[in-house]
């Protein structure tokens, strides 16, 4: 027995699917903090070091930092090396982490989401045990590109996102 949807039923089915999608996408975690900076002339020079400052007020929950990037498909490499300068509340020293950011698979296929010639990614960052957002106060993370070419072409935006991850276990 074959069942065919009539015109009105197709509209209702489409409405249900769209409503379900909207409901599920609304369940994605909202960022605790998110900010992006446009890279001047879409070429990340050593001198461009965007800085992101955010305040942690609740130390009973965990936090996951992410590196945000938008680049074009003309970006000439499959990865990006970034220096993170991290200042935690009450510390006078700035911790420096060198992070490798993969942007493409070995096959050359870009990672992340693409729309036309632009790709964007949100990559989790491991900042080590010494930076786990367990102190109340203002944190500052600055970014510096650490590739051998200056300026680094086809980078449009870079940024930081912080998400709450739930109750802190330690």
HEC secondary structure over 38-95: ECHHHEECCCCCCEEEEEECCCCEEEEEEEEEEEECCCCCCEEEEEEEEECCCCCCCE
User: Who's near 105: CB < 8 A, 6+ residues apart?
Assistant: 78, 111
Sign of the torsion angle spanned by Cα atoms 101, 107, 112, 113? positive
Q: What is the pLDDT of residue 31?
A: 84
Q: What pLDDT is attached to residue 66?
A: 93
pLDDT of the residue at 54: 95
Separation of alpha carbons 24 and 96, rounded Å: 38
Q: Are the C-beta atoms of residues 146 and 82 closer than 8 Å to each other? A: yes
Q: What is the CA radius of gyration of the chain?
A: 20
Residue 141 structure tokens: 């993370």
User: How confident is the model at residue 166, as a pLDDT?
Assistant: 78
Measured distance CA(78)–CA(106) in Å, rounded: 8
- Asked if residue 12 lies in contact with residue 18, where contact means CB atoms within 8 angstroms, the answer is no
pLDDT of residue 80: 96
| Per-10-residue mean pLDDT, the chain, length 170 | 54 45 52 94 97 93 92 95 93 90 92 91 79 88 96 97 79
Tell me the whole-structure pTM to 2 decimals.
Answer: 0.78
């Amino acid at each position: 027995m074959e069942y065919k949807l009539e015109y009105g039923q197709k509209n209702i089915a489409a409405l249900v699917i769209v409503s379900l999608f909207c409901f599920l996408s609304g369940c994605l975690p909202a960022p605790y903090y998110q900010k992006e900076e446009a890279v001047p002339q879409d070429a990340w020079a050593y001198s461009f070091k965007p800085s992101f400052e955010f305040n942690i007020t609740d130390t009973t929950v965990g936090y996951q930092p992410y590196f945000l990037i938008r680049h074009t498909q003309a970006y000439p490499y499959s990865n990006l090396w970034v220096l993170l300068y991290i200042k935690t509340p009450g510390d006078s020293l700035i911790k420096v982490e060198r992070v490798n950011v993969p942007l493409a698979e070995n096959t050359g296929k870009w990672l992340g989401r693409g729309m036309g010639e632009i790709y964007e990614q949100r990559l989790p960052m491991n900042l080590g045990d010494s930076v786990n957002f367990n102190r109340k106060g203002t944190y500052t993370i600055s970014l510096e590109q650490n590739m051998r070419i200056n300026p680094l072409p086809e980078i449009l935006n870079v940024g930081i996102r912080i998400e709450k991850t739930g109750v802190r276990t330690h």
